[in-house]
Structure 1
C-alpha cells in the first residue's frame, strides 16, 4: 500500500468538493428545466402589473436615500466591534488586569464613535429640517 488513496490526507475533502459541485450543477440544471416546463404561461395584463391589489402607485423614486447606506455601515461597524468582545470574555482570566484595561479603552473608543455618529444625526431616520 505504498500509493493508496489514504496517502493523501485531503483527498476526501477534494472528492467532497467535486461531488458537491456536481450535485449543485445538476440541481440547478434540473430546477431550470422543470421551472420552464411547469411555469404558468398566463401573460394577462393584471398579472404583469406591479401590484395585484391595492392602490396603483403613482411614481416611485429612482434614488435610494443615503441614510440606508449610513445606517447599514454603522450597524456593521458596531456589530463587528461587539464580536471582538467575545474572545476577550473567553480569555478574561488569562488576560487579567491588562486585558481589562485594554477592553475599557476599546469600549471608550467605541463610545466616542457612537456619540460622534449620534451628534452628527446619522442615527436619525428622518431629518427634522
Structure 2
C-alpha cells in the first residue's frame, strides 16, 4: 500500500514546492522594490500617450475580421497536417475523411462569409 501513495506524495510535494517558490518570489519582490508613489506614477499609462478624455475608445471592426480570417486559415492548417497522418492508418480512413469534410465545410462557410462581406478584396 505505501507504494500506491508514493506517486501522489511526489506530485503533492512538487506542487507545494512550486507554490512556496512563487510565494517567496512575490514576497521578495514586494520587500525589495522601491515604493515611492507620486501622482505622475499613479496616472493611467498606455503606449506613451497621456490619458485624455473618457476611457471608452472605439476599435475598428476590420481588426476583428483579420483575426477571424487568421483563425480560419491557421486552424485549418493545424488540423490538416495531423489528419493527413491519421488518414493513412488502417481503420481510420472513412471516418476521418467524413470528419475532415465536415470541418472544411465549417471553414468554407466562414470563408464565404468573409468573401461576401468584401474582406478579401485588396482595395
Unaligned runs of 5+ in 1: 125-129
Question: Is 1:91 aligned with 2:86?
Answer: yes
In structure 1, the residue matched to 2:41 is: 47
Question: Is 1:31 aligned with 2:25?
Answer: yes
Q: Give the CA deviation at 1:38.
A: 0.9
Unaligned runs of 5+ in 2: none
User: Residues 46 and 52 of structure 1 are in contact (CA less than 8 Å); yes or no, is this contact kept in structure 2?
Assistant: no
User: Residues 88 and 99 of structure 1 are in contact (CA less than 8 Å); yes or no, is this contact kept in structure 2?
Assistant: no
- How far apart in 1 are the matches of 2:55 and 2:46? 20
- Give the TM-score, by structure 2 length: 0.59
Aligned length: 116
Label 1:112 to 1:76 Cα distance change in 2 as closer, same or farther (>3 A): closer
- Give the TM-score, by structure 1 length: 0.57
